[in-house]
Homo-oligomer: A and B are copies of this chain.
Amino acid sequence: MSALTGLSPYTLRYYEKIGLLTGIARNDQGYRDYTEQDAEWVRFLKVLREMDIPIHEMKRYSDLRSQGPSTVKERRAMLEAHRDRVARQMERLEENMGKVRDKIKLYKQMEKESEAGRTE
CB-based closest 10 A-B pairs = A76-B107, A47-B96, A72-B107, A51-B96, A72-B110, A47-B99, A79-B104, A79-B100, A50-B96, A83-B100
In the assembly, how many copies of this chain are there? Answer: 2
Chain B's nearest CB lies how many Å from the CB of A57?
13
Residues of B within 8 A of A79 (CB): 100, 103-104, 107
Complex: A103 Cα to B78 Cα, angstroms:
11
Residues of B within 8 A of A92 (CB): 50
Residues of B within 8 A of A96 (CB): 47, 50-51
A33 CB-CB contact with B under 8 Å: no
For A28-54 the 0/1 string (1 means CB < 8 A from B) is: 000000000000000010011011000
A23 CB-CB contact with B under 8 Å: no
Complex: A33 Cα to B80 Cα, angstroms:
45
Interface residues on A, range: 20 to 34
Contacts A51-B93, A90-B90 known; A100 to B82 CB distance under 8 Å? yes
Residues of B within 8 A of A114 (CB): 69, 72
Residues of B within 8 A of A51 (CB): 93, 96-97, 100
A-B contact pairs, 24 of them (CB 8 A): A44-B103, A47-B96, A47-B99, A48-B100, A50-B92, A50-B93, A51-B96, A51-B100, A69-B114, A72-B107, A72-B110, A72-B111, A72-B114, A73-B107, A75-B107, A76-B111, A79-B100, A79-B104, A80-B104, A83-B97, A83-B100, A86-B97, A89-B93, A90-B94
